[in-house]
Amino acid sequence: IILRIGPLARLDRRFLSLLYNRRHFGVMTCAIAALHFKAVLDWYFAFSPLSPWVALLSADHQWSHIQGFPFIYLGLLAFMILLVLAATSHDFWLAFLGPASWKALHMSLYAAYGLILAHIALGALQDKQNLALSALVVTWATLLAGLHLIAGLKEWRQDRKPAPQRDGWIEATSLHALKDGCGVAVTLPDGERVAIFRDGHYLAAVSNLCAHQNGPLGEGRVMDGCVVCPWHGYQYRLKDGCAPAPYTERIATYSIALREEMIWLDPRAKALGTVVEPILIPETLLSTCDA
């Protein structure tokens, strides 16, 4: 369920609210894994003449056969990854490692869940021979992979969709594609993304990357003149890309123009903190847009 939140939010904006709690779900999963690990030591090897730790690491050693494969090692490795991710989930580690390194580290979550899947498949499914459990695991794993492939295909198409250009400016999107308080992400020729927002009667453009964890600002909402990142709630003023005081984060701003019903974008980013006044939507276009 946790790993489905990301692709579902890409495919349907109604799931965006779940992104705020994704880190807490991950720490909760680590806690559940810790309880499982303790239960195994206290119960599974309770009647072994060996120490539970020795019995745990020497239970199976048939590396060349599926039956008897040391699946416990897979679970231990997954648990260690979850421990590292839970321990580094605090924003201190994000600031210490930097957004790119922190994000790369936490992408190992997928390796952990893959190891958990193998741990279950080679352990519980073989031991219990439960067809219902087997069908459940295979079905959910297939659905998860399918959702990620569909969401990835959608992003891939957006990244490779050429945008018309004129005098160095890019035809970004139609005014009718913007709902009040929402944004649209536009891909630049160099692969970067810019988020264009409508705030009532005004339009503005900022970088699509949140300064906190490179979250997709284009999927956020506008509140009191600020875009709110859908991942963890960081806010940036649309006119200058600065976070409200006392916060100091800043993102790039961009110039836009409204030509008839099309929004055009200057792909050259302004220096951080540069004020770019939002453009006013004419009343004639505003009435047709809200119709």
Digitized pLDDT (tens) for each residue of the chain, 291 residues in all: 888 888 888 888 788 777 766 778 888 889 999 999 988 888 876 777 777 777 777 766 676 666 667 888 899 999 999 999 999 988 788 778 887 888 889 889 889 989 998 888 888 777 667 788 888 888 988 999 999 999 999 888 877 776 777 778 998 888 888 888 889 888 888 888 999 999 988 999 999 999 887 888 988 889 999 999 988 789 999 999 999 988 899 999 999 998 888 899 999 999 998 999 999 888 777 766 665
Spatial separation of the C-alpha atoms in residues 137 and 271, rounded to whole Å:
50
pLDDT at 127: 67
Query: pTM of this prediction?
Result: 0.67
pLDDT at 228: 92
Which residue has tokens 């048939």? 62
Contact 82, 33 (CB under 8 A): yes
Contact 244, 235 (CB under 8 A): yes
Spatial separation of the C-alpha atoms in residues 245 and 274, rounded to whole Å:
16
Nearest to 207 by CA among 220, 198, 196: 196
pLDDT at 253: 96
Spatial separation of the C-alpha atoms in residues 253 and 218, rounded to whole Å:
13
> Which residues partner with 280 through β-bridges?
202
| DSSP 8-state assignment for residue 16 | G
pLDDT at 90: 82
Spatial separation of the C-alpha atoms in residues 139 and 122, rounded to whole Å:
17
Nearest to 168 by CA among 254, 106, 103: 254
pLDDT at 214: 83
Nearest to 91 by CA among 227, 244, 249: 249
pLDDT at 68: 67
Spatial separation of the C-alpha atoms in residues 198 and 181, rounded to whole Å:
6
pLDDT at 60: 65
Q: 63 CB contacts (<8 Å, ≥6 apart)? A: 69, 70
Residue type (1 letter), 19? L
- Does residue 186 come out as left (phi exceeding 0), alpha (psi in the -120 to 50 range) or beta? beta
For residue 263, the surrounding DSSP H or E stretch is: strand 262-265
Contact 72, 122 (CB under 8 A): no
